Structure formats: C-alpha cells, structure tokens
Amino acid sequence: MRNEGQLTVSGASLFYRVRGSGPLLLILPGGHGDADAADALCEGLVDHFTIVTYDRRGQSRSLIDAAAGAPTIETHANDAHHLLAALASEPALVFGSSFGGLIGLDLLARHPEAVRLLVAHEPPAWDLLPQGERDRALQGLDDLVRAFHEQGVLAAFQKLADLTATDLTDREEGIALQLPTPRVAANLKFFFSYDAPAVNRYQFDVARLSPAAGRIVPAVGRAKKEAAPFRCAVALAEKLGVPRAELPGGHTGWMLRPKEFATKLMGLLHERGAL
C-alpha cells in the first residue's frame, strides 16, 4: 500500500505519505527531514510496518498559513497528533531522531494515548544536561543560527555537524553524499530560521513523561559520546530509569547507515513487542 495526501490542521496543510503494511510506524526525521528524507530507511522497514512520513509545516509541500506564525516544538507535536488521529485506529509506534525525537517526546507527553512506543534517538533536550553542558549546547545552537544569518546555509550546516558530532564519512557502501537540491536548501533555510531556534526556547519537563516511561526507548549512536544530543539521550534514560538502546552510526545513522539502522530498529521494536 502506498498513498499520499494533504491534511488540513490549524495554520497549515500537511503533506503525508503512507506505505507498507503492518503496525503503523510514524517516522520523524531530524533537521530538514521531510517525507522523502528517510526513504532509504523505509526500504528496510516497509515489509513489516505501515510507515507514515510527512513534511513538517513549512517544509517542501506543507504550507503554513500567512497568519500562523513561527512553529514551536509543541506546534509540531500537535501536527503529528492530528496526523495520527487521521490515519491510525490505535496507538502508533514512533521513531524520532534529533529534532524529530524532541517532537516525539512532546507528542507522548501531550497525547499519551496516541503513542504505543517511542524510540527517541538523540533528542536535543538541553534541559536534561548538567548546567555547564546545557549552557554549551544552548550557545552552540545560538552560534549556528547566527552563522546562518551572517554566512548562509553551508556555514550553519557545518556548525550543526560540529554540534551533533556528525561524521559524514561514517556511511554504508552505496550511500553517496549529494549537493542539496533547491527543495532541500529551502528546507534547511526554514529549519535554521525557525525550527533550530525553537529547540533553545523549548522547556523540557521530564516529569511529564514519567507516567509513560515504560513506553520510551532513549537511543544513542555508537560514536561520539561527548556530543550534546548523545548526552541528552543518556540523561533521559537515567532520569526515567529505563535502559537505553544503541543504534548504528552516529547522530544521522538513520540516513547514512539506513540498511543496518533498519535492521537494528526492527530488532529493537521486536524486543519491545511491536512485531
């Protein structure tokens, strides 16, 4: 099964794609990731899950109403909830990475009935970090946004790679790096303009997630343990009192090591009773 559609929500129209069969799995990529960004990952999962991906508001085919204002983490989480309400007949599995992981956590906190299990991969929940680390992460993201406004997308992208300790050479055979298409470039501009600043404004309250701790799997990459998003996932597991999982590659392993990542993610979901 594969179909596409548009869902009207408050202040926007969301483009979404549904493919595959089996338990519903919502994938929330990080950064500029739209409905197409996780295609390589989806290839390894589509025979086992009904996969839902979508363009976050402001990206690609999801248009924002002129009067809607800049989206927040809460806005994105509510969008995801409306999408699940329209497409799912029962609580969904959710995989969110980085910015998408933060959205997934807010989704679970606000709408626990909508989520069966959440794998939160290196979410930038800075409030989980000790004060010194938190301050460095906040400053790093502020510097990234400043670089975007002063020097452009490429400078900001490099700072993002530094902040997340992303190693673009750590990738599977056959995964080639390509120059951004005009659409990807536009998505990056939107991300650096609105979504990245929203991370630093977000007030993360881990206590809201405690009742659903058993449905949360904090996940890390297997490299760069000093990176702030890695440390956030470790802290999330510790504060919730749940074990963390390790997934292939670094912060963008879902994109650079999609085959290995899909196999590991499917095994993790199987262990948690999702299959």
Q: What is the pLDDT of residue 2?
A: 74
pTM: 0.97
Question: In the predicted model, is pLDDT for residue 187 greater than 80?
Answer: yes
pLDDT single digits (tens) 113-167 = 999 999 999 999 999 999 999 999 999 999 999 999 999 999 999 999 999 999 9
Domain of residue 64, CATH code: 3.40.50.1820
Q: What is the pLDDT of residue 14?
A: 98
Domain that holds residue 179: 2-271
Q: What is the domain count for the chain?
A: 1
DSSP string, 14-81: EEEEEEESSSEEEEE-STT--TTTTHHHHHTTTTTSEEEEEPPTTSTT-EEPTTS----HHHHHHHHH
Are the beta carbons of 164 and 156 closer than 8 angstroms? no
Structure tokens at 83: 């999408």
